Every structure is written in C-alpha cells, then in structure tokens.
Amino acid sequence: MLNNRLTPTLGLTLIALSGSAQGNELYLNETTRSQLSLTLYQQDLALVEEHRQIPELAANSRVILQGVSPQMQAETLQIAGAGVITEQNLEQNLLGLSELLQRHSGKTVTLARFNSVTGAETRQQVRLLKTEGREILVENDANQIETLPLNHSGWRVIFPTPEGGYQLKPQLSFVSEGIDRPGSAKLLYLTHGLSWSMDYVVNLNEDGTALSLQGLATLNNQSGQAWPDATIKLLAGSVSQPSPYPQMEARVAMHAMAMDKSGGQAAPGSIQDYHLYTLPHPLTLNDQQQKQIPLISRAQIPAEIRYHQQIQVSTHQQLPPQKHQANIHLTFDAPELEGDKTPLPAGQARVFRPDASGQMQFVGGSQLKATAPGDNARLQLGKAFDVSVEYTQTAFKKVFDGYEVSYEVLLSNRSDTDKPFNLNALMPMPFTLQASSIEPADESGAQIEWAFDLKAGEEKNLTFTAKLIKS
C-alpha cells in the first residue's frame, strides 16, 4: 500500500524533470525575425507575413521555426526563399497535464507529498492505470487500485521527462533541398485568434443638426502568441472561407440568393469589395490583449434626426389595430477619409447629445453599415416616447388575380416640436397603388414610402388602397 495511505483529499500537481537534446536540427526563434506584417480581418482571422534570417542550408536540412501562431491554419502555409520545400509540419505536441497523463497510462510514475510539520517528503512509485475526468486510478505497491482526485493540495505526481524532449509552444518545421548562401525566408499563413472591430462615438450638437464622428479600431489578440513591432493593416468586409461541409455552404449560398431576390433587403450604398486601412506606425500586440487605435476623426458633419415606421401589408384579414412607437433614426452623409473613396468601416456606433444643462447623455446606438463617401448613413437610436403610429386594415377583398386591401394610418405627435417622418408600407407581393390620401414619395417593387412633417401636437390621418397581384 502507499505510504501515508491516500485519501480523497489528496492533491495532484505536475513536475516535469528538465533536460532534452536539441539534436542536429536548426532552430530559428523570434530573434531571427527581420520583418513582421499582419492583416487583420473582422471575423477571427489574420494573415501573417514574416521574414526570418536563415543561414546556408545543406540538402535535406530540417529547419524548426519557433514563435509561430498556435492557431495557424497549416494548410495555408507558404514558404519562400528557403530552397525547394519537400516537407512542412506544424508541431503542436505541447507539454500539458492531460497529455502527460495519457502518455504515461500503464507506466510507472512517482507520487510525492511534503510534510510541512516535519519538513520531510514522502515519495512512492505507483503504476498509473487510467484517467477519468478529474480523478486518476493507480496501482500501489500492494497491488491495490486506488483513486486520487486531481487539483487538491498535498500530493504531486512526478513524471520523467518525455523522450525526445517537449514543447512549450507550437513550432513549424520544414525540410528543404538546401540553399548555398544565407538569406531571408518568407512565411505567409492564415491564423485564427486575431481580429479587429470598429467602434464609433458620435456627438450631436444641441439641436441635432451636426455631429462629430470618432472612430476607434479595436485590435484583439487571442492567438496565444505575442506580435512585436508589427506593421498592421485592417481589412474591412466579410471574407468567405471554404466550408468543410459542402452541403452547409450550398444552403448558405441559397439563403443569400433568396435574400437578394426579396424586396426591401438590400441597403443603398452597400459595399461589395474589400478595403484596407494601414496603421501609420508599427505596433506590438501582446497575447490576450485588446488595443484601441484612433482611425477616423471628423467634425461638423451635417446631420438630421428623422422618425420612421414600417407597416406590413397582409394577404389576409387583420382585425385588431396595430400600434407602435416610431423609430428614431439619425442620418448623415458619410465623409471622405483622407481625400479618397474609402468607405466608413462597419461597426458599433453610440450616440451622445447634450441635455438642457449642456451635459452629454447617451441617446442610443446601433450597427453602422459600411458606407461609401457621400452615401447616406443611418443609425437607429430607439423608440420615440411622444410619436406613435396606429394602423388598421379597413377593407380586404379577394379578386381573380390577387387581393385588394385598404388601410387607415393614424400618426400622432404629442411633443412640442415638429418631427420629420417617413412611413413605409411593405408589400408581400407585386402591387399597384390604387388610391392614397397623401402623395407617396416613392414606390418600388416591394414598398410604398411617404415623407412629411408631423407638426407639434398634430394627428395626421393617411388612407391608401393597393391591389396585391399573385405572380
């Protein structure tokens, strides 16, 4: 039996005995790096490009590069300037408790416990049988099987150093046909764990007619690797990546096609291409770090606050009236950045406005879509307390090629200021507008839009009739 028989309160700690041979392989650590560039994407992805100083290589040399990303996509790795590559490997057999327990299953390990009262340490060799969750099974010197809970104080497990040494960080290795002189090897690969996002602070003036725009790029490093003195570019847009499941990729594509064909889904001024923002100075991104960098700063941008409401026209009878508080939208034309046509990147925007005493208050925020210079940007701030919309279906009739529907809309402004208003009626199928008490501002294949001012204290009544045509 084990000396000082183990009890359920015994703990387990990890000791790895030092000492491993490097062999004749060539190791290149981070000190050989002469250049580092990162392109960060907005979707947990980055492109790493780095240059390593490399000596003359004999044929079939094996070179081990340390300091690569633990989350590298090994299938994207490209190596140039190191001769003809005949083999490349991403080695991630890292030292860890789970790995050591699995490797030593069925083998002899040493248990040790220190007595803080006597100052003596007790050691006992046992056979490690199995790991189950947070407990291990061992066979003691009396051929009895005992359990030890992991992560409790008292006992430690001492493992011999793994044969061939061990790794604390992932490393990249390749075999080359050789080069006859020292040079610079270029590495290019994609990795997860790095990304960026955009956050905007919008400050309105007192009457809401102008704003200042501050854009901060947030760089996020969760890759498990530090990136010192890196030249950083930020790519705005959503980049498609190959799916390991072709059927899923096909379903996503079909859904996107359906969205494109449906009415009212495409935003005006949407950006289809990608855009790069180059940061002016090299930066260091430490592991598990978020870093914010000012990217955009503009002042005195003309702005307008408008009130919006959408109503859904139905192909069946609607009996109860539908009542909603109007949505508050802040609109402005996107400014040019540094005199070029680069759009505002998509990101989260938060809007502040001074109250009667001049103190800034948060008044709402939403996602800002990527917006080209000169195109209209729109942010939804929330619901208006004093502006409401109530609509009722007043008539419904089936006709031979569709339906004829009529609606009455009551718009109410209980505040003491005028409110510019946009009302949209969304159509479920092709239509013709047969009558409207207010002239619409726009008719498209999917909706009717009215634009007008709601005077302070005013209630405005709008009626319309439309024919919905079956396709």
* Residue 292 counted as domain residue: no
Let me know whether 172 and 312 are in one domain. Answer: no
* Residue 96 counted as domain residue: yes
Least confidently predicted of 35-44, 295-304, 315-324, 371-380: 315-324
Let me know whether 448 and 318 are in one domain. Answer: yes
Instruction: Kindly list the distances between the CA atom of residue 22 and the CA atoms of 19, 63, 65, 170, 317, in Å, as whole numbers in the listed order.
Output: 10, 12, 13, 15, 80
Least confidently predicted of 86-90, 152-156, 213-217, 459-463: 152-156
The rounded percent of the chain whose pLDDT value lies above 70 is 84
What's the whole-model pTM score?
Answer: 0.67
Q: Report how far residue 124's alpha carbon sits from residue 142's, in angstroms, rounded to the nearest whole number.
A: 12
Among 140, 167, 192, the domain-final residue is 192
Instruction: Kindly list the distances between the CA atom of residue 10 and the CA atoms of 16, 96, 99, 112, 117, in Å, as whole numbers in the listed order.
Output: 20, 20, 21, 11, 17
Three-class HEC string of the chain: CCCCCCCCCCCCCEEECCCCCCCCCEEECHHHEEEEEEEECCCCCEEEEEEEEECCECCCEEEEEECCCCCECHHHCEEECCCCEEEEEEECCECCHHHHHHHCCCCEEEEEEECCCCCCEEEEEEEEEEEECCEEEEECCCCCEEEEECCCCCEEEEECCCCCCCECCCEEEEEECCECCCEEEEEEEEECCEEEEEEEEEEECCCCCEEEEEEEEEEEECCCCCEEEEEEEEEECCCCCCCCCHHHHHHHHHHHHHHHHCCCCCCCCCCCCCEEEECCCCEEECCCEEEEEEEEEEEEEEEEEEEEEEEECCCCCCCCCEEEEEEEEEEEECCCECCECCCECCEEEEEEEECCCCCEEEEEEEEECCECCCCEEEEEEEEEEEEEEEEEEEEEEEECCEEEEEEEEEEEECCCCCEEEEEEEECCCCEEEEEECCCCCEECCCEEEEEEEECCCCEEEEEEEEEEECC
Say whether pLDDT at 421 is over 90: yes
- Residues 192/48, Cβ–Cβ less than 8 Å: no
Domain membership of residue 431 as a residue range: 302-346+372-469
* Residue 155 counted as domain residue: yes
- Model pLDDT, residue 9: 35
Most confident among 126-135, 175-184, 186-195 (mean pLDDT):
186-195
- Residues 370/198, Cβ–Cβ less than 8 Å: no
More confident residue, 54 or 122: 54
- Model pLDDT, residue 394: 94
The rounded percent of the chain whose pLDDT value lies above 90 is 48
AA identity, residue 218: T
Say whether pLDDT at 438 is over 90: yes
Question: How sure is the predictor about 187, in pLDDT bands with cuts at 50, 70 and 90?
Answer: very high
Least confidently predicted of 12-16, 120-124, 146-150, 349-353: 12-16
Q: Report how far residue 350's alpha carbon sits from residue 365's, in angstroms, rounded to the nearest whole number.
A: 4
Among 192, 213, 236, the domain-final residue is 192
Mean pLDDT over residues 183-189, rounded? 92
Average pLDDT, the chain: 83
Instruction: Kindly list the distances between the CA atom of residue 262 and the CA atoms of 94, 258, 268, 312, 376, in Å, as whole numbers in the listed order.
Output: 50, 6, 15, 14, 22
Most confident among 107-111, 218-222, 259-263, 332-336 (mean pLDDT):
218-222
Least confidently predicted of 70-84, 134-148, 262-276, 325-339: 262-276
Contacts of 133 (CB under 8 A, 6+ apart): none
Measured CA angle at 17 (ends 67, 5), to 5 deg: 130
More confident residue, 15 or 205: 205
More confident residue, 313 or 269: 313
Say whether pLDDT at 257 is over 60: no
Tokens of 302: 């003309």
Let me know whether 185 and 310 are in one domain. Answer: no
- Model pLDDT, residue 160: 81
User: Hey, CA dihedral for 225, 228, 234, 239, is it positive or negative?
Assistant: negative
> What is the domain count for the chain?
2
Tokens of 165: 């040494």
User: Hey, CA dihedral for 451, 452, 458, 462, is it positive or negative?
Assistant: negative
Least confidently predicted of 162-171, 194-203, 331-340, 411-420: 162-171
* Residue 235 counted as domain residue: no
Per residue in 259-306, pLDDT tens? 343 333 222 222 335 788 889 899 999 999 999 999 889 999 999 999
Among 192, 224, 255, the domain-final residue is 192
* Residue 378 counted as domain residue: yes
User: Hey, CA dihedral for 277, 195, 347, 199, is it positive or negative?
Assistant: negative
Say whether pLDDT at 96 is over 70: yes
- Model pLDDT, residue 351: 96
Per residue in 11-60, pLDDT tens? 333 333 322 224 457 888 889 999 999 999 998 999 999 999 999 888 88
Let me know whether 319 and 442 are in one domain. Answer: yes
* Residue 41 counted as domain residue: yes
* Residue 216 counted as domain residue: no
AA identity, residue 358: G
- Model pLDDT, residue 451: 95
Residue 371, strand partner residues: 344
* Residue 223 counted as domain residue: no
